[in-house]
Every structure is written in C-alpha cells, then in structure tokens.
Structure 1
C-alpha cells in the first residue's frame, strides 16, 4: 500500500474534524445528510440516510412524548435513547467521512480511496468507491453503504451484551415494537394544494437481525427511488420542513411540540377519531429533540474491520421486498397505540 503523505494526513484530519462537528446530535446529522445530497444527488444514500435519521429522531423524542412515559420508567427511556443515539452517531461517524472524501475526490478528480483505511472505513468499501468514481452506479453504492453501515453497528452496538440484555428485552423496546412506534415513514404532499401530507414507509421488524436490517434498508431505498414522481415530492418536503425531532413536522393536525398538563399515572383516554382529534382533545405531545434530550458525549468508535466473507458481495445484486405501509395503515397503527396505552394504564396497579 502506498504510504500516506503529509498533505493526505491533513485531509484525513480535516474530514475527521468536519465529521465530528456535524455529529453533535440527531438534528445536525440529519441536516448534514440533506445538505450533502443537495450538492451531490448522485449519492442516493445521503437522502435515504437523511430521511431514516429523521425517523430516528422521532423515535428518540417518542420516549418523552405522549405515550411511552406512561408505559416505561425514566431509566428504561434513558437506556433506549442511548442505544438509538449511539447507532445514529456511529453510522454518521463512519459514513459521513466517506461522503466528505468522495466530495474531495469529485472536486480534485483524484482517486483518494487509499485514505479510506485511515478514516477507519472497512476495506469492503474501497472497490465500491473506486467503481463509483468510474461508473456512477448509484444503486450499487447505496446497497453497499446499507450493508456496510449495518455491519458497522452490528459489532459495535447491536451484538454487544448490553444491547442484548438491556435493550431488546426492555419494556421500552417492547412497547415501541408492539405498539408500532418503530415505523420509518416518508412524508410527501400528493398535490400542492393538499392540506395533509401522505405517508409511505414500513414497520421495522426484528431489529436485532443483521440480515433483516439490510433487507429493510434495501426496501426503503426502493420505496424512495423507484417512483421518481413521489421521490421529487418527498425531497421537496424534506427541503421545505426543517427537522426538529417532533412528529408535528409532518402531521401538525395531530401532534404538537407544546406540552400540556397530564397525569402520567391516570388512565389514558383515546383522542384520535378516524384521522382527526376528538372534539375538545389536546394534540398529542411530541417534543422537539432539543426539549427532550441534551447532547451526549460519545466514546470513540471501537471494533475491527467486519469484512471477512465475500458472501456479502451477493447482497449488492439483490433487491428486497418487505411489506410497506401508507398513511391509512399508519393511522390504524396510531389507533392501536392509543388503545394499547389505554389498556395498560387502566389495569396498572
């Protein structure tokens, strides 16, 4: 391998500084992905990452929102937030550095992929980026990044004893899964004059499974990019509405970032009637991220290069077609959540 010269070491340090600065919290990460996609729309993964990161922020604030505080204690919420935040942080730490290196390669028209190992990137990605520089195969790059980033968090978070013991069997994780608070949704306006946004997306199943997470990423990518007309509408919404972490970003007729007086020990009364709030009911509380969680310091990314088996190359050629949802299925899931919370709070000792 060619040794890295002083100028290249400086570029690696510059990329690391820029990545760390943008990796402050879910809001800054999410915005950075979108800003990158605006400049480099051939990198489809950046828009997919922006939208998935928005959903990650909504999952984080749900822990302090209308429903989950009635079901789980603060310690459980804290652990679940840390898990979500650590996954979000690690993926950005690894992937955004690659995006910034690509930006430099595009600017200088040089192949700088030899710097990927110095950035801690798996050798799996080096030939992928080399191919992308030549062929601009957006689909291949996106699938490769989906595989790589899920492998990256697998060893560093998902497969750790802490996650297996305290996250996947915790009341908070169970509640989010059973009550369908773990969807990934893409909002968009079907027609410019529509008052309400439509939604498409999917419910995340079997998160501890690496293969399932990769299939989920592929399905979401296909859902986002296979329909160019809908893609343009989703992208328009993403540019128009800043990410705050509150679900009021997409459905302000149901959700609000402003809290209201509530007794978390009382029996919950459902507020949604069809697609509307019941008359006289306050909106569902969905705080912004800044109101819900302070910024967190992270330990350095640990681990070793995951790439040991060429079987993962076959994943780059394969589609995945998991079940998807629309706004009708989403509103039904909200009804299920409300009735689930009502049942639990009614029978709580």
Structure 2
C-alpha cells in the first residue's frame, strides 16, 4: 500500500481490507477536508446535475445509460439502468390494466411512493459518485476527497480509490450493489412509515408475490428480430438486505458474464428509450393506449406471453409521464451505514445464475389475470 499526500493508493484487495479496518478503528468519518475554490464549483455543479436528473424514473434511467455510454468501465451504470427500467415498469403497472383492478387507489399510491423514494434515494447517492469519477477522468487526477461532501459512505471512498488504481470493474460494481442496498436498508426498508403503509400490508405482499420480484432484461438475439427476448432473475425475501445484495450480484453476473446477453441488451437499449411502458419491449402484448372498455368484466387475454386467440385488446401499460406526476422529496437522512468490513465477503461469494425468466414471467401474468377475475367474481357475489 503506497501513500501519497496522506491518501492511500490502494493497489490490492488486501489494501482495501486494511484501509476499511483502519477507518472503522479511527471512526473519523465526519472529518471533512478543506476545499479549494475549484472544488466548491465542482460540488455546486454535481448538486445541480444530480437534482436535474433526479426528477423521475425516466430521467434517472436515461442518466445512468448516458453515463455508461461515456464510461463503459463503470459496469454498475448499465446494471442500474436496466434495474431502473424495471422499477419504472413496476410504477406504471400500478396504473395499468391489471393492478388497478386488484389494488385500491390508496395502495397504488403507497406502493408508488415506496418505489419512487427508493429510486430517488439511490440516484442521489450514486450519481454524484459517477460525476466525481467523470471529473477525475477528465482532469486525470482522482477527486474522491469530494465524496464525503455528498454524504457518500466511507466504504465507497475506499472502493473508488481501489478502482482508480486497479481498474477492477467487477469489484467496484459489486461494491456499489453492497453500498446501495445497505444505504436503502434503514432509510427505506426499515422505515417505520413504509413498514406500516407498504411492506407490512397485505396488498404489498400480494404485489410482491405477483410481479415485484421479477427483474427483466430485454435483449435482441438477432439483428432483425422484432420481439425482444427476455433474460432475468427472481428475487426472494425482498426485505432481507442479505438476499438483496446477492440478488444484485446475480443480476450483475447475468448481465456482464453472459456475452450474448450483454451484447443483446446494448443493442436493444440503443433503439428503445425508456418510457415506463412495457410496450417498450413487447408491443404485441402491451400498449400505452387503453384499448378496453371501462367497467367491463375482465376476460383472460394472455397465454404463454401472447394474446389468446380472439383477444384483440392488448394489456394497457401507460407511459410513466401519464401515470404519475413528479414527486417532491425530503432530504435524505444522514449517517454512514458502514460498520463492518466483512461486507467485503460478498465480493467473492459465489452466486448461481440461470437467466431463464420467460416461463415464470408468463405464469405471473396469467396468475394476475386469475386474481383479477377472482376478485371481480367475489364482488359480484357480494352484490347479489
């Protein structure tokens, strides 16, 4: 471990471990360095850029993608882009054909607020890190001393310095997964308000069971193929920090260690800007215009992820801008989640990756249809 101007040059994994242990022992997280005038201007620029791109799910998703195009060595930016697309689809599902018939308007708003708050949290934490890296590359000098001014965990300060010296994209990506899920734990998952209004409710358990646990990666397998193929994975125990970190690592492995999927995802994302509508990847099954008559009883339309014979109406999946207005957010709570250097163990922990999601996703759509028809039948009986 070399030292330059009181900053560790982290050249190896063992250096990372030593640096994190030292930080925990010294507990000097709150000591901020002095700032030059140039640094103050950079901080203002980063804050303004982050605010501008953190307006809604579509602006966040686009910002992740544009950053990845400029810095493909930052793998998490593409992973974040694809997961953010899924968050947007989950948001618009709440105003689509199916979930509007299962969930009350109150539950729809509560779940949306939960998804939106989590999406906002992650962006305001990770995007300043990306911009600091971008400034560092352009200046050919690392500027990670700016991270504490954005309340970034000291864990990530160490990991960014390690990446700067090693170029280890894999370790940085998994470290970012660890950081973002740990950052969300107390602020969102264990937040008393959201436990009461969302994660602890019967409606969320139904929503979680039916759709929230699938993350889909649409990709092109052939040059002229019209319908995207799907890869992905299914999360278990969403409220478990341990399981969310492993799930994130599983998604990363699927995206970056399966070359045909990575190439196909990049090909697909290039020609399909994110709108929030599932029509983006399956226009044969979804439409951003509602083709159904209001108040008509629901009839099953989906079989094996295709419209049933005789079912002319596609599933309604609105654009995000028509489904939900922009949300104003209170500032994020301060505090560093980093308390145990053993979180590094996740970096070398093996995960199983299959990637086959088509069958499970199709069954999910059919199960939601059955749930809708069951609820409507129950309501009819109650009226008789």
Pair in the same fold by TM > 0.5: yes
Moved >6 Å (runs of 4+) = none
Q: Can you list the C-alpha shifts for 1:228-268, whole angstroms capped at 9, x where unaligned?
A: 1220111111111010000000011000000134445x542
- Name the CA distance, whole Å, in 2 between partners of 1:193 and 1:321: 31
Partner of 1:129: 160
Q: Mean Cα displacement is larger for which, 246-255 or 325-334?
A: 325-334
Structural mapping, 1:277-288, within 5 Å: 277-278=307-308, 279-288=310-319
Q: Mean Cα displacement is larger for which, 273-282 or 128-137?
A: 273-282
- Name the CA distance, whole Å, in 2 between partners of 1:234 and 1:165: 37
Q: Report deviation, 1:332.
A: 2.3
SS state of the match for residue 199, structure 1?
Answer: strand
Q: Report deviation, 1:339.
A: 1.7
Q: What is the aligned length?
A: 348
Partner of 2:16: none
Q: Which runs of 5+ in 2 are unaligned?
A: 1-31
2:216 to 160, 185, 192: 185
SS state of the match for residue 328, structure 1?
Answer: helix
SS state of the match for residue 211, structure 2?
Answer: coil
Aligned partners of 2:254 and 2:353 also within 8 Å = no
**Does 1:251 find its partner at 2:251?**
no
**Does 1:276 find its partner at 2:306?**
yes
Q: Report deviation, 1:316.
A: 2.0
RMSD between aligned residues: 1.5
Q: Can you list the C-alpha shifts for 1:249-307, whole angstroms capped at 9, x where unaligned?
A: 0011000000134445x542111133421224310000010010000111111131111
2:225 to 194, 206, 209: 194
Structure showing greater Rg: 2
**Does 1:315 find its partner at 2:346?**
yes
**Does 1:70 find its partner at 2:104?**
no
SS state of the match for residue 214, structure 1?
Answer: helix
**Does 1:95 find its partner at 2:136?**
no
Partner of 1:84: 115
Q: Report deviation, 1:212.
A: 0.9
- Name the CA distance, whole Å, in 1 between partners of 2:291 and 2:376: 18
Q: Report deviation, 1:215.
A: 0.8
Q: 1:343–1:324: structure 2 CA closer, same or farther, 3 Å change rule?
A: farther
Q: Report deviation, 1:322.
A: 6.0
Aligned partners of 1:254 and 1:283 also within 8 Å = yes
Q: Report deviation, 1:196.
A: 1.7
| TM-score, normalising length: structure 2 | 0.87
| TM-score, normalising length: structure 1 | 0.96
1:222 to 253, 272, 282: 253
Aligned partners of 2:292 and 2:313 also within 8 Å = no
Partner of 2:373: 342
Q: 1:262–1:203: structure 2 CA closer, same or farther, 3 Å change rule?
A: farther
Aligned partners of 2:213 and 2:238 also within 8 Å = no
Partner of 1:234: 265
- Name the CA distance, whole Å, in 2 between partners of 1:179 and 1:262: 24
Q: 1:176–1:323: structure 2 CA closer, same or farther, 3 Å change rule?
A: farther
Q: Which runs of 5+ in 1 are unaligned?
A: none
Partner of 2:143: 112
Q: Report deviation, 1:181.
A: 4.5
